[in-house]
Every structure is written in structure tokens, then in C-alpha cells.
Structure 1
Amino acid sequence: MAPTSEVDASDVPTTTTSTEKRALSRRRFAAGALGAAGLTGMAGCSSVLGNADSSETITMLLTPDTPSDVRPQYQPVHDLLEGEIDGLDLEMKVPQDYSAVRPALRSEQAEIGMDDVTLISDPDMMDLFGTAVTGGTAFYFSMMLTKPESDIDERTDLEGRSVAFADRLSTSGSIFAVYALKEAGLDVGDAPDGPPVDFDGTWSNHEDAVQKVINDDADACCTWTGNGMAYLAQDQELPEEVANQDSFVGNRGSESETLRPFWWSFPIPKQPIYARQSWDSPMKEEIRQTLIDSDRELIEEYLPEDYNEDDLPFSTLRETTMDNYEPVITRLNDLGIELG
């Protein structure tokens, strides 16, 4: 197993908003609804609340993946921000892939993003709010999965096999995974920007990667614990640091299909939330402070009915710096991935 990261997940801020404000916010959202919002190449949702004369419309770009999976997960974050901040009209949109995020920010089609690769690609363009925290931890894990009956037990067993990855710029579903295969001695060729040598690789998104294994279109897949943990048996034994530091362990057994993990990364900092520096508005600081002041108790008041709390991607922000994302930078540089 890879060495343990030195990043510390302690000291998460937990400032609480007043009970009266929370109750008012919840009443406000009892009448709210989400609908479709258009932006070329992106799927999104926006609130129908707010006075057009007084509200400020802000666009937040979610992590690129399947929109029908991502948008419902972030619904409580959307409702929290609109409920706690007067005059905020928040649109959440899902880019087609990671390479679409920075152009949308640079062209001022969006104000806020939340993936580490875009942040790393141009840190001088962004104001870092902090790292997302869920379940008391600011970390998740990259993982490799195969079918229970497979003879794949370690990374070197993937030689000559087919491997499904997430988006080529996904930290957990591609960058950490390809680097791990290279560390194990496999010739990764030009992956993820070109074909590997010692195995066949395909790139899509997290859920499609898992489905390729289930459908026998790939021998193994690489994903993150927020997606893959649900496909583990409920009694699947976990490495100690995964059991202690991952916030998705409760998802085990929630999918009908069962896959078997054979590799885990060390803890990876969860996605950062950042804003473009060129966005000049008091709303920027209000959003940052609201996210930092949030806690589990507050965001639970914004959970929709029938929401699976194990899917919650955010409860608060931990204030961090670019140093927390050094492991990602190391792997990008080693693999020669150009982010320009």
C-alpha cells in the first residue's frame, strides 16, 4: 500500500448560524424549486427564487461527471448558500469534462469551481476558499476495482488487460491511478494523453468506468471512493487508514452489483472550492464565509426529502493552501500532463 499522506484533516471550523436564521431559510426553500439552466457544453440547475432587481446570479461549476448523479448530490449546498445569503441566485452547472472548467472561468461564464486540476493549472487566476469536508474528514481515496471472481490481485496483474478510467484529468480516476501503475513497473506510455503500452486503457467518467467492469467491457477500473465504495460488499474489509479517514465507508453494499478492491491510494485532499480572482463582488466573501461557517447540523436542515446522507459531498470547508495539493502536482509533472 502507498505511504500515508502527511496532510492533517483536523481543526475543521464549525461556526454555527443562528437558529432563527436557519428556520427562516428553511421556510424560504419550502417554496423553492430547481430547473434547467443553459450554458453551452454544460448541464445545470438554478433557483427560481429571488427578485430580479436585487439578486446577483452566480454560476458554480461542479466536478465534471454524470450530471444526473452530481447535481442531486450538491442540492443541499445550493440550498444552503441561497438560504443563508440574501440576494444570491446560484446556478450549479456540470461541465462536460475537466478541460472545460478553466475556459468557462477565464471567459467569465462562471465564478466558482471545485476541482484541484483546474486550480493547479493556474493558481494565480483563483482565490482558494478551502477544501471540502464531509463526515469530519477532508480526504478521499483513489481505488481500483475488479470482479470478485477475477484473478487480478495487484497492479502488475493488469499487464495485458483492459482498464477503464474516469476523465483523463480526474485526480483519482486517472492521474493517481496511472501514476500508481507506473510505480508498479507497468509501461503507461503516454497515458492519460495517449495510449498506454502494457495494458489497454479507456477514459470516460467514474460511473462509466465501473459499469465497463460490470458489463465485462473491462477487466478493472479506477475511480474514487465517493463512487466506488457503493459497489463493495457491506462486510468488505478496508485498510485501516481508509476506514478511519474516508467519509464514504457507509456506502458499502448500497449497489446491487459487487466489485472487489485490489488497490487503494493514500489519502487525497478532497476537492477545493475556489473563485476566479477577476470576479469583483462582495458576494464572493459572503459565499466563502458561509461555506466555512457551515457545519453538519446546518447543512442537514437543507437536505431534500429522500436524500441519501452518505452521498453528501460537503458539510464545511477547511481553510487550506496550495501546499495541500502538492501530491497532485507531483503526479501531473511526472506523467508530463500539460494543463494549458
Structure 2
Amino acid sequence: MSNRREFLELLGVAGAAGLAGCTGGSGGESTDAPTSTPGGASTEAATATETSTPVPFNDGRLTFYMSPSEPQQLMESQYEPVKSRFEEQLGVTAQLQYAAGYSAALQSLASGTGDVGETGPFAAALGVANDRCEIVLQRYGYGSWTYASVIVTQEDSDIESLSDLAGERVAFADRLSASGALYPLYMMKQAGLAIGDLPTDTGDADFTPQFSSHAEAFAALERGQVAAAGVGQFITLDDNRELKDGFRYVETEDGIPRAPVIVSPELSDEEQQAVTNAMLEASESMYLGADGEADTDDDLWFSDVREATNETYQPVVEVANELEITTELLDG
């Protein structure tokens, strides 16, 4: 990888606001996040006055980019109430766009063709460092504001430790995924495996990587096409939140801040804050999908949001810095 610089230095170039970006023009420096409860809006937001003045988005349209973590039709159903919420609160015509990947979503936000998006922590951190997005919210799901990355193998596999992956094929999610690329590679490097210039370049590693999505990486492991998969723990769990039968974890890294909601840097401070408030002040119904019923397939995976700060995603920055990753990965 040419012209490498420490990731934290790149964040300094991105602006004094640092990693978390602007939350409506305040600079995002406050560390006092609203008190939140699972399954609904924050306590602070519950008493807030609903936004009623339409915001003058460029052409009266708001485009929300969904990361391709699940099939398109399912995600469109999951995010339908989010779309409706923006239309009701902001006085715009909203549309959902299924992104080809994290980079595609970030590029759309950077150019102003997209307005709001959901993405992973690592992609968002790189996007902020390269002026492609601003982080405004963090999401809450499965009882926590954090989650885990795992390297998982089949239960009857010969892989007992990460060092056993030398010479093997390993599946990962998107190159810009925190739990599906950044943290698995970090765990492997800490175990003494050479990772070369991954996740940018695929050569010079002690193993053969393949990148796709969380679902496809785990499916490749299920099919026996790879020795292990580095993915978000969520994709390995059954309906009871237990590891699926036939698999076991080789290594786990927890405490990763859950994924953010990001906005285009082309939006005004007023527009960014309006988007933030629309989600902060939403009722539980926004999280229940198109059918409006709890505990069905189209429920969103998260059940609350809170404003993010610069410090929220600092653990991700530190791991990226350890791997000497720069924003050129966005153009790879």
C-alpha cells in the first residue's frame, strides 16, 4: 500500500470535529448522549417537540441508502416506516435505495445524490476522514450499544486456533465492514499471521481471503468452501440468539460500537439536525417494519438511536490505525 499515513492523522485532516462529524452544526463534541431505553426513542427525545417545519432539501426529495446486509426486498420492508417518518416530519418525498456496497453508499452521500444512509462503523469512520459523510446517530440492538466480531469455523473442523488458518481460505464480509473485515484481520494479525495489505490488497497474506457480505461469507462456511469466516456475530446466531448448530468460534472480539446512521456532508446544518431529530423523536412503530407488528421478519435489527460523538467510534479508529489503513481503501 503506497503513501500510508496513520489513520488518526487523516482524521485530523478531515476537520477539527474528528470522527463523529457534525450533529446539526454543533460540532459533535458533546459527550452527553440522551438516556435511552430499548425498544423506543430516548428518554430525552420523548419529551422533545416534534419537528413540524418542512426542511428545504435540494429538490424536495430525500434518498436513504441501505447497506446490502440482507436481501433488498426484506430491507425495503424493514425501512419502510423510516421512509414514512422522514416524509411526515420533513415534508419531503423519501425513497429507499439499495446500495451496491459501503463504498457506493459513501460516494452517493459525498456527491449529494444520497442524503441519509445506514452503514458499518469502519466505513463511516473512513467516510468522515475523507469528507464523504457525517455521523449523526448510533444504533441500539439486541440489548446493547456494542456488538462482536467472530472468526467461526465448522464444529468438526481441524481449525483450533487462528494460526491454523495459515494456507487456508477464509471468507470475510465487505472490505469496509468493521466486524466482517477490520476486526477479524486485526485478530489474525495479533495471532501472528501475516495479513499483507489487507483489506486493500489480497496478496502477501498467509491465507487466501474472499470478500462478499456477512450472509454470503457465513454461507460459504456452511457449504464447506472456506475453512473459516470472519463476520459479525449476529449472522452466526439462531432465533434464540445462540450459535447455530454445527459451528464453533475460534476467536471473538467484542465491544465494537454498533453501526451509525450517516448523512451527506452536502446537507446544511439545519437539514442534518432535522434528520437527526426525526429519528430521535420517533415512536417504537418506526422499528417494526412495514407490517407494523413486533417480532416479525421485517422488524429492524435495531430498536433505538442516540446521538453519536467523536469518541463513540474511537475504538474502530484505533484498530484501523493498528492495521495502517488509510482512506484510499474507499477507492479500491
* Alignment partner of 1:62 is 2:52: no
Does 2:147 correspond to 1:140?
A: yes
Question: Does 1:203 find its partner at 2:191?
Answer: no
* 1:89-104 equivalent positions in 2, closer than 5 A: 89-104=93-108
Alpha-carbon spacing, 1:140–1:294, altered in 2? closer, same or farther (3 Å): farther
Amino acid at match of 1:263: E
- For residues 205-252 of structure 1, give each alpha carbon's deviation from its aligned partner in whole angstroms, at most 9, with x where no partner exists: 11110111111100110111232223xxx7xxxxxxxxxxxxxxx443
User: Shift in Å at residue 283 of structure 1?
Assistant: 4.9
Give the ranges of 4+ consecutive aligned residues of structure 1 lying more than 6 Å apart after TM superposition. Answer: 7-10
- SS of 1:327's equivalent? helix
- Percent identity between the two aligned chains: 27
One-letter identity of the residue aligned with 2:310: M
| Distance verdict in 2 for CA 1:276–1:159, change over 3 Å | same
Whether the 8 Å contact between 1:67 and 1:94 is mirrored in structure 2 is: no
Distance 1:281 1:126 in 2: 13
- Partner of 1:213 in structure 2? 221
Aligned match of 2:35 in 8, 11, 15? Answer: 11
Aligned 8 A contact 2:154 2:221 in 1:
yes
Give, as a single letter, the amino acid of the residue that structure 2 aligns with 1:217.
Answer: Q
Among candidates 160, 177, 186, match of residue 167 of structure 2: 160
- CA gap of 1:76–1:199, structure 2 versus 1, over 3 A, is same
**Counterpart in 2 of 1:77?**
82
Look up the match of 1:252. 242
Contact 1:77 1:314 in 2 (8 A): no
Superposed displacement of residue 56, structure 1: 2.9
Work out the CA distance in 2 between the residues paired with 1:8 and 1:214.
43
Instruction: Give the aligned partner of residue 237 of structure 2.
Output: 229
**What is the alpha-carbon distance in structure 2 between the residues aligned to residue 275 and residue 260 of structure 1?**
37
Superimposed CA distance per residue, residues 123-156 of structure 1 (whole angstroms, 9 cap, x where no aligned partner): 3554432201124421111112111111223322
Q: 1:149 matched to which residue of 2?
A: 156
TM-score when normalising by structure 2:
0.72
Contact 2:78 2:288 in 1 (8 A): no
Q: Could you tell me which amino acid in structure 2 is paired with residue 150 of structure 1?
A: S
Pairs aligned (count)? 278
2:110 maps to which of 103, 106, 110: 106
Q: Which residue of 1 aligns with 2:181?
A: 174
Flag the 1:90–1:292 CA change in 2: closer, same or farther, 3 A: same
Aligned residue identity for 1:337: I
- State the alpha-carbon separation in 2 of the partners of residues 276 and 127 from structure 1: 6
AA in 1 matched with 2:172: F
Per-residue CA distance 1:56-87 (angstroms, 9 max, x = gap): 321111224344354444344334444x5262
- What stretches of structure 1 of length at least 5 have no aligned partner? 1-6, 22-54, 235-249
Residue 124 (structure 2) pairs with residue 119 (structure 1): yes
Distance in 1 of aligned mates of 2:93 and 2:241: 32
Deviation at 1:109, TM superposition (A): 1.0
Q: Which residue identity does 1:144 align to in structure 2? A: I
Give the distance between the partners of 1:9 and 1:185, measured in 2 at CA: 38
1:338 equivalent in alignment to 2:326 = yes
Q: 1:303 to 1:267 in 2, by over 3 A?
A: farther
Using the alignment, how far apart are the partners of 1:110 and 1:93 within structure 2? 9
Q: Distance in 2 between matches of 1:287 and 1:71?
A: 19
- Residue identity in the other structure for 1:78: K
Stretches of structure 2 lacking an aligned partner (at least 5 in a row)? 1-30, 37-41, 51-58
User: Partner amino acid for 1:120?
Assistant: A
Tell me which of the two structures has the higher relative contact order, counting C-alpha pairs closer than 8 angstroms and 6 or more residues apart.
2
Q: Distance in 2 between matches of 1:260 and 1:138?
A: 24
| 1:26 equivalent in structure 2 | none
2: CA distance between counterparts of 1:214 and 1:331? 28
Distance 2:133 2:139 in 1: 16
CA-atom RMSD in angstroms: 3.2
Where does residue 32 of structure 1 map in the other structure?
none
TM-score by length of 1: 0.71
Change (3 A) 1:301 1:148: closer
How far apart, CA to CA, are the structure 2 residues paired with 1:336 and 1:260?
30
- Aligned counterpart, 2:55: none
- The separation in 1 between residues aligned to 2:126 and 2:312, in whole angstroms, is 15
